[in-house]
Chain A
Amino acid sequence: MDAVEFVLQNFTEMNKLWIRMQHQVCWNTSVLTCMAPENLHATKVKMNREGMIFWPCRCSSACDTFILFGDPELRTSFGLSGLQGPVRVEEKLEKERSELRDLVGKNLHVLSQIEGIDLEMYKDNVLPRILEQVVDCKDELAQYYLMECIIQVFPDEYHLQTLETLLGACPLLQPTVDIKTVLSQLMERLSNYAASSAEVLPEFLQVEAFSKLSNAIGKVIEAQVDMPIVGVITLYVSLLTFTLHVHPDRLDYVDQVLGACVKKLSGKAKLEDSKATKQVVALLSAPLEKFNEIVTALTLSNYPRVMDHLDSETNKVMAMVIIQSIMKNNTCVSTADQVEVLFELIKGLIKDLDGTHGDELDDEDFKEEQNSVARLIHMLYHDEPEEMLQIICLVRKHIMTGGPKRLPFTVPSLVFSSLKLVRRLQGQDGDVVGEETIETLSSVPSPELALRLYLQCAEAANDCDLEPVAYEFFTQAFVLYEEEVTDSKAQVTAIHLIIGTLQRMNVFGVENRDTLTHKATGYSAKLLKKPDQCRAVYACSHLFWVDDQDGIKDGERVLLCLKRSLRIANAAQQMANVTRGSSGPVILFVEILNKYLYFFEKGNPQITSAAIQDLVELIRTEMQSDTTTPDPASDPFFASTLRYIQFQKQKSGAMGEKYDPIKV
């Protein structure tokens, strides 16, 4: 009797023993207790002249008797020992059962170690014999355990080559066996096998592993009608993981697996079982992790269909996973078609889907979601301006459905993406983009933000030489300033942005420019606090002096602004003298002095050295005056300004001459 045959018989008999033992209620422990795995060692087994095999009895009383191995009657007596109660017996029984189970499994392990067994023998003799026993024993527990053992104990190459046989046994098992876990384990092993080396991959193709597994799974699902949905999805997750490892280039296989899921999910209400939902998320995340190019996943036609079956919360979670995958891999989504699919997938973030209420969402989470969408917009890019314009229009169409809560997050990204494109187009289609942008911006319920965006657009229109469009943007900005910006601090910032932008405009004709500068200076003088008024007005002086070649250089109006700001500073000074404690606005005078110096150097003929001298004296007087509250900031500022004048005086040439009359 050769070793293989011996072990196979051993296995068969022990299996029967184990199964029978599972159904035994009580034992006489002195006869047959444990069958420890060590007993498998050949030297412990005795054989009589007839070739019958005997195991040493290993009961607790260390007796010398031997039990006939393979005896179907077990030659035991069923008398209860008076010394042991039923509970202790039960415990002991459990221990015996589990040890016997291990022993059965160990048989299979031994088989896998026997040198003489090659693939041929395994295929033709060993596996069929094992499977025969597995099927015939008709015991649910044993079948599950044994299938697991087979999968774990024998090499993966063997499994590949005997896939049909192995899978063929599955439908023959008891219907209560958890076959899906068995199949998942098998697929996992095969996935790891595929991942271990590229050389084994052709084998998978040769044995048509995918279609065999796919069919087997289909059959199992069909047969087990009561299988809960989480089980079905788990199976498909395993199959998908397998597919991604073994056939990463076969997108049709991936789509097929997703399609099978869709079929199983359709007709049912949206998933509510959280375990099943988790599995669906795993299913959808697997292709993203595998394909560095997210756009590959976007081509799977069944992908969005699977997503549709998720509840709205999980749908959003999945959308975030998709966005994060794009961000992490620094992927550029570059065609309008891909953008369309992408936005379809993340629609849960873009707008309120039917039946959901936007207010339910946590504030922080909502911000994170919307900021992710905003960041995503910058990952959409195409070199060709035409294609890029299409992408932008598509994005605009989608985010405009987002409602007032979402627009403040998403519109700025869209606007800046558009401005980048406008720069590339340099004038063509400028007014079209302009009009649409005004429409978009007017719907943003955040006036300060909209104001800033209008000014950005004005600059872009300026660069494209579109005077009416630029003027319209300024008009809109002023309307917002007048009607919506009410906080005094916000007004200060807003007016400076308007002045700063206007200062850079070169597209305006005299009339338009005058209207806008008049408005800007007017609002500057009307700011709430005097120091703010003063600063905004002297900032306006730059509106009348632009250093460019063709820039405006209206020395008189510059001086008018500076004088006006001086008056305001004086008024502020009066007020400070009256009210106690306010930090003296002497610093304002120093600032204005610096502005005088600025225009003096630029060659404004209206700014004379005498005027500067007067201002210096004025500041000196103010600083030394008793009524002034000492301001730690003004002194060093004045000192360094004087140092600057000194420095300029010491320069040779025209600058030195210019500064000569000024005495410090």
Chain B
Amino acid sequence: MVLVLALGDLHIPHRAPDLPPKFKSMLVPGKIQHIICTGNLCIKEVHDYLRTVCPDLHITQGEYDEETRYPETKTLTIGQFKLGICHGHQVIPWGDLDSLAMLQRKLDVDILVTGHTHQFKAYKHEAGVVINPGSATGAHSSITYDVNPSFVLMDIDGLRVVVYVYELIDGEVKVDKIDFKKTTATAPSAH
């Protein structure tokens, strides 16, 4: 069982003052093995904070990340899964799942984690799964109205990944989960 935290689009300090206190109290150091961040932190303090939650931190460059040169895309392997990260402002039309599927094929990954729209999505297509963890701070978005703070926790176990999405709605944390299973050769299928 490997726990991977996926989050992004915090936009601190431009659009949000900080992570919601309820999220902060959940993100306890030592429980998570990897962090995947889609970008738009935007300052060093946020980077440092994430490192205290887990030192294995993978970040891609968002269009508001200043003074950093994170890569535009990144791929990594966790267990049986190949994961890809990209902020998403590079993929036009923004939030378009078919265009994101193309990026997934290009990166040749089972799970593509992407952001930019500030809206949680977990979408399964022929080549794999696209996950958008939304905005961890509920930051304002020109694309999505009424953004609720959200992040994703993936539990990778063999050929199976359970995606837990945590959303802060009206002051309460709500959790939902989706199962994905991978057949040995190629793409995962949804349950």
Q: Is the CB of A504 within 8 A of B94?
A: yes
Known: A371-B45, A640-B105. A412 touches B14 (CB 8 A): yes
Q: How far, in angstroms, from A227 to B13 measured CA to CA in the complex?
A: 46
A330 touches B21 (CB 8 A): yes
Q: Is the beta-carbon distance between A637 and B108 smaller than 8 angstroms?
A: yes
* Size of interface on B: residues with Cβ below 8 Å to A: 34
Is the Cβ of B106 less than 8 Å from the Cβ of A496? no
The residues in A between 239 and 256 inclusive whose CB is less than 8 angstroms from any CB of B are: none
Is B145 in the interface zone, CB < 8 Å from A? Answer: yes
Taking the complex as formed, is A346 at the interface, i.e. its CB lies under 8 A from any CB of chain B?
no
Q: Write out the residue numbers on chain B whose beta carbons fall within 8 Å of the beta carbon of A503.
A: 92-94
Separation in Å of the A513 CB from the closest CB of chain B?
A: 16
Distance of A500 Cα from B139 Cα, bound (Å): 19
Q: What's the Cα separation between A587 and B145 when bound, in Å?
A: 36
**For A127, what are the chain B residues with a Cβ–Cβ distance below 8 Å?**
none
Q: Is A539 an interface residue (CB 8 A)?
A: yes
Q: Closest Cβ of chain B: how far from A380's Cβ, in Å?
A: 10
- Decide: B14 and A374 in contact? CB cutoff 8 A: yes
Interface flag for B16 (CB, 8 Å): yes
Contacting B at CB under 8 A, from A398-447, are 409, 412-413, 416, 419-420, 423
- A379-B17 in contact given A452-B64, A637-B105, A644-B126 (Cβ < 8 Å): yes
Q: Is A612 part of the binding interface, using a Cβ–Cβ cutoff of 8 Å?
A: no
B residues near A452, Cβ cutoff 8 Å: 63-64
For A371, A449, A547, A641, the residue with the greatest tally of chain B CB atoms inside 10 Å of its CB is A371
* B172 smallest CB distance to A (angstroms): 16
Which residue from B13, B98, B145 sits with its C-beta under 8 Å from A598?
Answer: B98
Q: A96 contacts the other chain (Cβ, under 8 Å)?
A: no
Contact of A641 among B16, B94, B105 (CB under 8 A): B105
Choose one: B18, B89, B99, B102; the contact of A497 (CB below 8 Å).
B89
Answer whether residue B5 sits at the interface, using C-beta atoms and an 8 A cutoff: no
A500 touches B89 (CB 8 A): yes
How far apart are the CA atoms of A641 and B89 in the complex, in Å?
22
Check A312 for interface membership: any CB of B closer than 8 A: no
* Chain A 579-611 near chain B by CB (<8 Å), digits 1 or 0: 000000001001100110010010000000000
Nearest neighbor of B126 in chain A, beta-carbon distance: A647
B102 touches A591 (CB 8 A): yes
Q: How far is the CB of B41 from chain A (nearest CB, A)?
A: 12
- Tell me what chain A mostly uses at the interface: helix, strand, loop, or mixed: helix
> Which B residues between 1 and 47 are near A, CB-CB below 8 angstroms?
11-18, 21, 43, 45
Which residues from A are CB-within-8-Å of B142? 419, 456, 459-460, 463, 501
* B105 and A375 form a contact (CB under 8 A): no
B16, chain A: closest CB distance, angstroms: 6
* Residue pair B63, A594 in contact (C-beta under 8 Å): no
**Is the CB of A278 closer than 8 A to any CB of chain B?**
no
Query: Are A419 and B92 closer than 8 Å at their CB atoms?
Result: no
User: B63 near A497 (CB under 8 angstroms)?
Assistant: yes
Given A375-B13, A416-B140, answer yes or no on A539-B92 (Cβ-Cβ < 8 Å): yes
Q: B114 to chain A: closest CB distance in Å?
A: 14
**Of the candidates A375, A637, A641, which one forms a contact with B17 in the assembled complex, judged by CB atoms under 8 Å apart?**
A375
From the candidates B102, B106, B140, name the one contacting A420 in the complex (CB within 8 A). Answer: B140
Q: Does A301 contact B (CB under 8 A)?
A: no
Q: With A374-B14, A598-B98, A647-B126 as known contacts, state yes or no: A542 contacts B93, CB within 8 Å.
A: yes
Interface assignment of B68: CB less than 8 Å from any CB of chain A: no
B50 interface hit (Cβ, 8 Å)? no
Contact of B108 (CB < 8 Å), options: A372, A493, A640:
A640
Which A residues are in CB contact (< 8 Å) with B14? Answer: 374, 412-413, 416
B80 at the interface (CB under 8 A from A): no
A330-B21, A503-B92 known; A493 and B63 CB under 8 Å?
yes
Nearest CB of A to B48, in Å: 12
8 tightest CB-CB pairs across the interface, nearest first?
A374-B13, A459-B142, A412-B14, A375-B17, A375-B13, A636-B108, A640-B105, A594-B102
By a beta-carbon cutoff of 8 Å, the part of chain A in contact with chain B is 327, 330, 367-368, 371-372, 374-376, 378-379, 409, 412-413, 416, 419-420, 423, 449, 452, 456, 459-460, 463, 493, 496-497, 499-501, 503-504, 539, 542, 546-547, 587, 590-591, 594-595, 598, 601, 633, 636-637, 640-641, 643-644, 647
Task: Spell out B's residues near A (CB within 8 Å).
Answer: 11-18, 21, 43, 45, 63-64, 66, 89-90, 92-94, 98-99, 101-102, 105-106, 108, 126-127, 139-140, 142-143, 145, 186
